[in-house]
Amino acid sequence: MSKEITKEQLLQPVIILSQPQMGENIGATARVMRNFGLLELRIISPRDGWPNEKSTAMAAGAFNLMKPVRVFEDVATAIADLQQVFAVTARRRDMEKPVLFPDKAMEKIHLTSNTGARSGLLFGAEASGLSNTEVGACDGILTYPVASDFGSLNLAQAVAVAAFAWRNSIDTQISDESENLAIGNALATKQELAGMLKHLEGELVSAGFFHPPEKAPVMMQNLQNLFSRAEPTAQEVRTLRGVIKALSAGRGKRNDNR
């Protein structure tokens, strides 16, 4: 008989490691996750493959007490079913995204979880961290108040800080109201938002909006940041796609009448 899923497990964030290089760091991450009650780990293109014997040894049995690790090829597919994702990075990027310390990020995760949304924390590779593209796919930046002259953390250490912050926030943030999830008002998933942005980009290209064309990536990044800050619901994204479709159809009619 399967164990009943607790309210704590329903609300907790997913930990996502992008291109981790060492199996030992994946195992140490799993171990510290389980220490603080986090159960879901996702990995994007691990350098040394998966499963990994060194990871299993370092985990000290943690994998047996967690959900099965899922492996993905890229960030887009790894976060597709999530509604809110924070990029965990020490570097302040040149992007219009909220930058939060752990306590505020966990508060935000609890608030959105109470509407039925699922959240994730995205960590970069040991040597290079997260790319701007990966950060751009997230809703905000989670950063730590580390010493300004030495801010480098081991991957598992970085996860440990976030896991502790989550565990520390549970008693103060979870209320009885979270039993009644407002599923109808749930935030759009990353897959739904990405689909709408791709639809919008295609119509903007057809309309000749990108001038010069080489500015398209930056302009789409700005639009992605705008919609991420707006935190649209699934219904709002469907409405926006209907608006885009109607506008494109109307443009075609005008062209036919000329």
Strand partners, 254: none
Whether the pLDDT of residue 251 is over 90: the answer is no
Mark whether 252 and 201 lie in a shared domain. Answer: yes
Mark whether 148 and 196 lie in a shared domain. Answer: no
Mark whether 66 and 91 lie in a shared domain. Answer: yes
Whether the pLDDT of residue 256 is over 60: the answer is no
Mark whether 144 and 239 lie in a shared domain. Answer: no
How many domains, the chain? 2
Question: Which one of 183, 200, 218 terminates a domain?
Answer: 183
Question: Which one of 183, 215, 231 terminates a domain?
Answer: 183
Give me the domain span that covers residue 122: 7-183
Mark whether 172 and 106 lie in a shared domain. Answer: yes
Mean pLDDT of the chain: 86
How is the chain split among helix, strand and coil, in percent rounded to 5? Answer: 50, 10, 35
Whether the pLDDT of residue 245 is over 50: the answer is yes
What tens digit of pLDDT does each residue of 148-189 get? 888 889 999 999 999 999 999 886 654 444 444 444 467 899
- In eight-state DSSP terms, residue 2 is P
Band (78; pLDDT cuts 50, 70, 90)? very high
What tens digit of pLDDT does each residue of 32-57 get? 999 999 999 999 999 999 999 999 99
d(CA 120, CA 128): 20
Mark whether 89 and 200 lie in a shared domain. Answer: no
Structure confidence at residue 231 (pLDDT): 85
Instruction: Establish if 2 belongs to a structural domain.
Output: no
